[in-house]
Structure 1
Amino acid sequence: MTLSLRHLYLPVLALAALLLAGCSTVRTVESDVQSYSTLSELPVPPTYRLERLPSQAENAVHFDAIEAQAQQALSSVGLQRDDANASLVLQIGAEAGFVPNPYWGPAYGPYPYFGPGPFYGRYGFGYGRGFGWGAGWMMDAPTPLYHRKVSLVLRDAHTQKIVYETSAVYEDVWTNDPAVYGVLFQQALAGFPRPAPGKRTVRTQVDTATGLAVPAQAAAR
């Protein structure tokens, strides 16, 4: 008896559907956070004004969503935007790109360069060797790791001295823009205004269907 391609693919598709149905909708976003602070407590008043770089102003359509995520994270630690009566001046940074998946070895190509700049900075791409799999399936390239980085710099509005600097870097196979930036801003502000010294790992549970953090505190180690 001759089987059509349709009959060959049906069991494979059914298996894939079962695997997807069993997958959890909760994912852990884990980032490397580094923070530097000269603050001992919230400033009085606990307010800031946002200072956009010229490049960010030119890309306002993209940057608006990132800015909104940052302001929400700042609000969660007690800081509110008040351009007319600000104690602090805020600058926001965000980057995006791809990096090779280290589990696939050096054949995946060179690491990209991520220069400073506005939202979505610079992108880099890699490549991989394909191989045959199953009923005519072909894996042309490994899944890349998404690179996402956010940074926040707070200056004293009167002296212009930097009083708080923090960043969070995330590299994984899953992302959900712009929601993932909101998670990263929250992680970057973990422990504000007196964060733990040195580089640390911060984890947050995220609902992959909505891109929102689940009701749980980010855990740091």
Structure 2
Amino acid sequence: MYKALSALFLIVLLLTGCSGMRVVDSQVTSFAPARVPEGSRYTFERLPSQQNKATAQDQLEAMAEEALAKVGLSRDDQAAGYSVQVSASQRAQQDVLDRPALGWNLGWMVGNGGVSVGRGALFPGLDVRTSYWREVGLVIRNRATQTVVFESHATHDGPWSDSDAVLPAMLDAALQGFPEPPTGVRRVNIEIAR
């Protein structure tokens, strides 16, 4: 009976660990030299390098449009008083772990994220972790004067490869506190579904 209850508890614990929310923690730096009134209209502006990657930029601008709507701005390509330039860069990096999650070493070792026994890798590849670094940037200009009225950048480094879920959270983080965000570097946590 105790074995059956223990097994059931373990299964429930594992299933709940796989569902729920995850946190995208971004380091955000924002500058707001002039206030952008709520309800302002904008259009997207592209650099020549972004025009060469039209499909990817269309997707990024669609994500930014949703984030900008949350802070009270609306896209209007005909009567826009502001232009928005949005950018994103990302890279994947393989990190070799000091201690693999499972492997062979001299003697026994348990703890600190690892279980090892003996010598050499028991499961090759478990000593490598892929990390995804991303940065998003938003620059808003007054179209009449071409002056920058808002600039924000958010960076995130994490284990998730699904940019379609992570980038919108980073854009939300970059716009947190808009139109008068706090000064200095700050950490912004945005929860998204697993």
TM-score after normalising by structure 2: 0.76
Cα distance change of structure 1 residues 20 and 146 upon mapping to structure 2, 3 Å threshold: farther
Name the amino acid aligned to 1:55. Answer: S
Q: Unpaired runs of 5+ in structure 1?
A: 1-16, 106-130, 209-221
Task: Describe the SS at the equivalent of 1:85.
Answer: coil
Structure 1 CA distance for aligned equivalents of residues 74 and 126 of structure 2: 48
Structure 1 CA distance for aligned equivalents of residues 141 and 80 of structure 2: 11
Q: Do the aligned partners of 2:44 and 2:61 also contact (CA within 8 Å) in 1?
A: no
Cα distance change of structure 1 residues 139 and 20 upon mapping to structure 2, 3 Å threshold: farther
Q: Do the aligned partners of 1:167 and 1:188 also contact (CA within 8 Å) in 2?
A: yes
Tell me the residue number matched to 2:104.
Answer: none
Tell me the residue number matched to 2:136.
Answer: 150
Equivalent of 2:175 in 169, 186, 189:
189
Superposition pairs for residues 111-150 of structure 1, below 5 Å? Answer: 131-133=120-122, 137-139=123-125, 141-150=127-136
Deviation at 1:175, TM superposition (A): 3.6
Name the amino acid aligned to 1:86. Answer: A
**Shift >3 Å, 4+ stretches:** 17-20
Superposition pairs for residues 142-181 of structure 1, below 5 Å? Answer: 142-181=128-167
Deviation at 1:62, TM superposition (A): 1.8
Q: Does 1:104 align with 2:104?
A: no
Task: Describe the SS at the equivalent of 2:124.
Answer: strand
Q: Does 1:28 align with 2:23?
A: yes
Q: Does 1:47 align with 2:47?
A: no
Structure 2 CA distance for aligned equivalents of residues 138 and 175 of structure 1: 21
Q: Unpaired runs of 5+ in structure 2?
A: 1-10, 99-119
* Structure number with bigger Rg: 2
Deviation at 1:152, TM superposition (A): 0.3
Q: Do the aligned partners of 1:40 and 1:193 also contact (CA within 8 Å) in 2?
A: yes
Structure 1 CA distance for aligned equivalents of residues 164 and 121 of structure 2: 35
Structure 2 CA distance for aligned equivalents of residues 61 and 40 of structure 1: 32
Q: Do the aligned partners of 2:165 and 2:192 also contact (CA within 8 Å) in 1?
A: no
Tell me the residue number matched to 1:60.
Answer: 54
Higher normalized strand content (fraction of residues): 2
Deviation at 1:104, TM superposition (A): 3.0
Deviation at 1:19, TM superposition (A): 7.2
Report which structure shows greater RCO (CA 8 Å, sep ≥6).
2
Cα distance change of structure 1 residues 63 and 19 upon mapping to structure 2, 3 Å threshold: farther
Deviation at 1:21, TM superposition (A): 2.4
Deviates more, 1:53-62 or 1:75-84: 53-62
Deviation at 1:35, TM superposition (A): 0.1
Q: Do the aligned partners of 1:69 and 1:179 also contact (CA within 8 Å) in 2?
A: no
Task: Describe the SS at the equivalent of 2:65.
Answer: helix
TM-score after normalising by structure 1: 0.67
